[in-house]
Chain A
Amino acid sequence: MGNIGAKEVPPLFGADGRRVDGRHLDELRPLKVTAGALTQADGSAYVEWGLNKVMAAVYGPREVHPRHLQENNKAIVQCRYNMAAFSVDERKRPGLDRRSQEISKVIAEAFESMIFVEEYPRTSIDVYIEVLQANAGTRCAGIVAASVALADAGIPMVDLLPAVAVGKVGGKLVIDLNKLEDNFGEADLPMALVPQSGRLVLLQMEGHLSRDELSSAIDMGVQGCQSIYGVMQQALRERYAPTPAPGAP
């Protein structure tokens, strides 16, 4: 994908069958989630995932801007996914390009699918995702960060929303593609799972997959989401669980 007419495909697996960064096929990159990373937002979170660094903030429920978007029977969820100009190798022109606008739309829809929006009519829940350093998988990192930020803001929702991409690289299904794998892989399938219901509220795909590969890829992603879910819960526990007194049993 994205490499038509470009250079040759570099090796994507080592002699030991491991991936370029030494991972197994179903192994995630190291993921670190911090709940409550900013002071002004109603909720916030910071995610380091492999070489990705993503900050998320949540404001609201608050007055709707622009006003005409207001809904009488529910809150609306607005999302702005943005990549910093310096977050990629070649400087990115600041502001939302079409890719960012599409991602913002599907992320907003994913969250609106699981927030109890009917609790807050005529308001807006604003989710801001800022990619500070990018290395493939930024929309998933953004969803993880935003989801923890929403919980940090105390927004009632069905569940947290772990997300991960599964891809096909050198004919094999792998989870959580890094930049090289993303550039030279044959397929990319980002998804976001509501663990409570087992349902997907975000699903995109590009590349070539057979129906059987697609089926396995979804299973692989669902499993990955489960372990990401654990990391997210832990981040919230660390912020909100009362710390035991020193010397307590």
Chain B
Amino acid sequence: MSDEVTAAILTTHILDLARGGRRVDGRGLDEYRAVSVEPGYVATADGSALVRIGATAALCGIKLEPGKPFPDTPNAGVLTTNAELIPLSSPTFEPGPPHPRAIEVSRVVDRAIRAAETIDLTRLCVTPAEKCWTCFVDVHVLDHDGNLIDAALLAALGALTHATLPAKRFAIAESDTPLEVNHYPVECTFVRLGDVIVTDPTFDEERACQGRLTVATDELGNIVAMQKGLIGAFSPDDVRDVVERALRHGEKLRAAARAG
């Protein structure tokens, strides 16, 4: 009960502040938290990156293994994206089968990677209909202070950008080669707090919010994926405003993932 009471008080406080154009952590309404990307964090993975957005931390590890193409795409490799919201990272996460919110993060990240054609899957085909590379993108959220979708995709992109095809290990080629990355999608998430829409929400802001909107953009200025989530609504003009902001913040996020 005390948890519920503090949450309710904090929510009121967050909404009061937002009305005056302010946030609990002192950020501007359209200000993203400090972002860092550390590629190569896990030596056993074929590509990895640890991402921090403020206090939120997500780690992505890529594994590339030989597999078999799907029958309906005989000339393409296989890409699988999964996000784990492990109980280590938040008191609100429980052990057990994936919660719908974990499935949502996985699918929204997967959608952005796929729609942006981040990786040319036909390049992962070794022998049509018989042998291809399977690319497993696994993201573990380590510390949950909000905005997991942005953190998960950024970690995935950071890991993909610095991944190696272990062709030698699996006797597919003489030597290992870098995984080719063609496009750089990043996601930018916003929440509504009363009448204002803030960028890069914290955990408390997500709990206080009236609707969440995520926009994925690529380096060419395309919008490649969107997801409205949580309880709340956005007008068409809100969406247009958020898209402009996502394109702007996307530049910086992309630069962070590529540089590492």
List the interface of chain A (C-beta within 8 A of B): 1, 3-6, 98-99, 101-102, 104-106, 109, 112-114, 189, 194, 197-211, 214-215, 218-219, 222
Contacts of B103 in A (CB 8 A): 98, 101-102, 105
Taking the closest CB of chain B, its distance from the CB of A69, in whole angstroms, is: 12
Contacts of A4 in B (CB 8 A): 73, 76, 117, 121-122
**Distance of A201 Cα from B74 Cα, bound (Å):** 38
**Contact flag A5-B75 (CB < 8 Å), given A98-B107, A99-B107, A206-B224:** yes
**A211 & B100 in contact (Cβ 8 Å cutoff):** no
What CA separation (Å) do A98 and B229 show in the bound complex?
16
- A218 near B236 with CB under 8 A, answer yes
Contact A203 B225 (CB under 8 A): no
A residues less than 8 Å from B244 (CB atoms):
211
Contacts of A6 in B (CB 8 A): 72-73, 75-76
Question: B221 — which chain A residues lie within 8 A by C-beta?
Answer: 210-211
Known: A5-B69, A5-B121. 19 other contacts (CB 8 A): A5-B76, A6-B75, A6-B76, A102-B103, A102-B104, A106-B228, A109-B231, A198-B235, A201-B232, A202-B228, A203-B213, A206-B115, A206-B224, A206-B225, A207-B224, A211-B221, A214-B239, A214-B240, A219-B236
A106 to B238 Cα, complex, angstroms: 19
A-B contacts at CB below 8 angstroms, number: 120
Give the docked Cα–Cα distance between A19 and B235 (Å): 30
Complex-state Cα separation, A204 to B243, whole angstroms: 13
The answer to whether the Cβ of B223 comes within 8 Å of any Cβ in the partner chain is yes
Q: Which of B76, B114, B223 has the most CB atoms of chain A within a 10 A radius of its CB?
A: B223
Chain B residues with CB under 8 A of A200: 228, 233-236, 239
29 contacts between A and B (CB under 8 A): A3-B73, A4-B73, A4-B122, A5-B76, A6-B73, A98-B103, A99-B107, A101-B100, A102-B104, A105-B103, A105-B104, A105-B229, A106-B104, A106-B229, A113-B232, A113-B233, A189-B226, A197-B233, A198-B235, A204-B227, A206-B224, A207-B115, A207-B225, A208-B224, A210-B221, A211-B243, A214-B223, A214-B243, A222-B236
Contact of A113 among B73, B211, B222 (CB under 8 A): B211
Report how many residues on chain B are interfacial, defined by Cβ distance under 8 Å: 45
Q: Tell me the B102-142 residues at the A interface (CB within 8 Å).
A: 103-104, 106-107, 111, 114-115, 117, 121-122, 125
Verify if B101 is at the interface (C-beta below 8 Å from A).
yes
Residues of B within 8 A of A104 (CB): 100
CA distance A222 to B227 in the complex (A): 17
CA–CA, A225 and B244, complex, Å: 25
Interface: B247 (CB within 8 A):
yes
Report the Cα distance A222→B117, complex, angstroms.
Answer: 29
CA–CA, A206 and B104, complex, Å:
14
| Complex CA distance for A170 and B24, rounded to whole angstroms | 47
> Are B107 and A218 in contact (CB-based, < 8 A)?
no
Cα of A222 to Cα of B72 in the assembled complex, Å: 35
- Chain A residues within 8 Å of B72, by CB: 6
Closest to B4 in A: A72
| Complex Cα–Cα for A24 and B231 (A) | 34
Interface residues of B in 233-260 (CB under 8 A from A): 233-236, 238-240, 243-244, 247
A205 — which chain B residues lie within 8 A by C-beta? 223, 225-227
**Closest beta carbon of chain B to A188's beta carbon, Å:** 9
